[in-house]
Structure 1
Amino acid sequence: MDKLLQGKKLLITGAARGLGLDFARAATAAGAEVAMADILAGQVMAEARTLAAEGLIAHGLALDLADPASIEACARDAAGLLGGLDGLVNCGAIATGIGGVDMTDLDIEVWDRVMTVNVRGSWLMTRAAVPYLKAAGAGKVVNIASDTALWGAPRLLAYVASKGALLAMTRSMARELGEYRICVNAVSPGLTLVEATQYVPQARHDQYVDGRAIHRPQLPEDVNGAVLYLLSDLSSFVTGQNLPVNGGFVFN
């Protein structure tokens, strides 16, 4: 993957930590110029400075996916800093502290907040990026979904529903944006060892490891190859697809 993304200008949301941060590190190492956005503004800017200190091109931006104005400003600022956009990774999402309850006990407020950020936020972020992707003459959108939407993980209904919606939106967006040579795809990771999954009961971690064709925990770097491929020119005729990356826990 050395220099696979040379010169690509990318916006990655949810990049202060976890998978989003790992995507930013992998993309810059592959030659991309990256704008990293997150609601944890101080943290994402510090991570961007760390990458820049290594001689890589990275900028940190504040982003609230519940705020349409913040989303528009983020896309505009990212394109301004980078001189355009070739790709967007929709990784920002609410995943922590929303599981572990039956659907009958799920708070309406939690449901609405998850849908606002994970679904509406991803739609609005893509909408805001589209003019810049069109201007580039092509483009890539990679939506980070979840294999929970493929096997129906229990006691996690709001998150599962939001990721299922993201998969459906991926297909519809691909139909609409294909005429502009913009490819829209999804990656569905399995349960990955990041900050957001530290609250997940050990029994669920064990369920994943035992149920995978490859019996081991999933690490952030396991997902990088799929995301970089979908951002690269190698996938210029791939769109509307979902790529599960979970060690064979779910086959697609």
Structure 2
Amino acid sequence: MFDASSSDASSVHRTIHRLDGLVAVVTGAAYGPKAALGSVFADALCAEGARVVVADIVDAEPVAAALRARGGQAIAVRVDVTDEASVEALAAKAEEAFGRLDILVNNAVVGSNIPPVPIGALDVAAWDQVMAVGLRGSFLCAKAAAPRMARNGWGKIVNLGSTTMQDGLPNRLHYVSMKGGIQALTRALARELGPQGIRVNTLATGLVANPAAGAAFTAKPELVAAIRADRAIPEDVTPADLTGPLVFLCSRDSDAVTGQFIVADKGGFFT
């Protein structure tokens, strides 16, 4: 019988940092609203031993400072993910600070919290902004990170996806289309970069209880309740619920996984 009081049992609970020695870049990781996804992701990777580059178009130093205060290694870098020179500078700063680049989390996005807009009222500028940050930004960041990962013969790219890509979401055509493009990017990159030891996956969810989805949670509580009730596990999905899958996809535990659409939504969408 397993004896939890034995010395062997206690050794099971020793701290294991799955990302020790690795360097991760997380985009869209400034605090903004408290508990935004990117800052939670940066915290989770740092807790697993990664040295983290907290990147955002706004000041992300408070996030990096908080990670350092808890004993982690982190720097903040301002970046415009739609600008190739800015993204290349981000990757160069990661290498300059920590000597390498192993993990990229493409979290920067625009569109998840915008009001519903029917196609007749959707203007080109709004479409272009959502595509530029979400899809162009993910492409540019992967383009800058891939050769640096290839030099080490290993790397992980995690793109943030959405189940709206599969089930469709009316009146958010630009956001849903961008997320569909993200999965196409994931599949193509996985094929292209696999021979260089780089794995590329999409981590997707549905509605997450975080400030980016604040309008839905405050203005339409009945919709939120219906989404919650329809899940196999009828609970809210929180940013913390995504950190376990994220760390898995960033670690060597998932080395056999690439090109995949990994859904963490408590059973809200079954294909």
TM-score w.r.t. structure 1 length? 0.95
Residue among 68, 90, 96 paired with 1:80: 96
Residue among 80, 89, 106 paired with 2:122: 106
Q: Distance in 2 between matches of 1:100 and 1:180?
A: 41
SS at match of 1:65: coil
Listed one character per residue, the Cα deviations across residues 135-190 of structure 1 (whole Å, up to 9, x for unaligned) are 12110000011111121122211111101100011000000001101000010022
Aligned residues of 1:96 and 1:199 also touching (Cα < 8 A) = no
Aligned pair 1:15/2:29, yes or no? yes
Instruction: Name the counterpart of 1:60.
Output: 76
Q: Which amino acid aligns with 2:136?
A: R
User: Which runs of 4 or more aligned residues in structure 1 lie more than 6 Å from their structure 2 counterparts after TM superposition?
Assistant: none
Instruction: Name the counterpart of 2:47.
Output: 29
TM-score w.r.t. structure 2 length? 0.89
Aligned pair 1:128/2:130, yes or no? no
SS at match of 1:145: strand
Using the TM superposition, name which of 120-129 and 192-201 deviates more: 192-201
Map 1:222-233 to 2 at 5 A: 222-233=241-252
Give 1:2 shift.
Answer: 4.0
Q: Distance in 2 between matches of 1:23 and 1:125?
A: 17
Q: Which amino acid aligns with 1:26?
A: A
Using the TM superposition, name which of 240-249 and 199-208 deviates more: 199-208
Unaligned runs of 5+ in 2: 1-14
Give 1:203 shift.
Answer: 3.6
Unaligned runs of 5+ in 1: none
Residues 191/96 of structure 1: CA separation in 2 closer, same or farther (3 Å cut): closer
| Identity among equivalent pairs (%) | 38
Residues 147/96 of structure 1: CA separation in 2 closer, same or farther (3 Å cut): closer
Q: Which amino acid aligns with 1:101?
A: V
Q: Which amino acid aligns with 2:20?
A: Q
Instruction: Name the counterpart of 1:5.
Output: 19
Q: Distance in 1 between matches of 2:135 and 2:20?
A: 30
Q: Which amino acid aligns with 2:26?
A: I
CA RMSD of aligned residues (A): 1.3
Instruction: Name the counterpart of 1:177.
Output: 193
Give 1:20 shift.
Answer: 1.0
Residues 106/83 of structure 1: CA separation in 2 closer, same or farther (3 Å cut): same
Give 1:235 shift.
Answer: 0.8
Q: Distance in 2 between matches of 1:239 and 1:158?
A: 26
Residues 60/219 of structure 1: CA separation in 2 closer, same or farther (3 Å cut): same
Give 1:118 shift.
Answer: 0.6
Aligned residues of 2:112 and 2:175 also touching (Cα < 8 A) = no
Using the TM superposition, name which of 184-193 and 96-105 deviates more: 96-105
Residues 2/154 of structure 1: CA separation in 2 closer, same or farther (3 Å cut): farther
Residue among 147, 151, 163 paired with 2:167: 151
Largest Rg, 1 or 2: 2
Q: Which amino acid aligns with 2:25?
A: L
Residues 215/7 of structure 1: CA separation in 2 closer, same or farther (3 Å cut): same
Q: Distance in 2 between matches of 1:57 and 1:204?
A: 40
Aligned pair 1:38/2:56, yes or no? yes
Instruction: Name the counterpart of 1:244.
Output: 263
Give 1:202 shift.
Answer: 2.7
Q: Distance in 2 between matches of 1:246 and 1:104?
A: 31
Give 1:98 shift.
Answer: 2.9
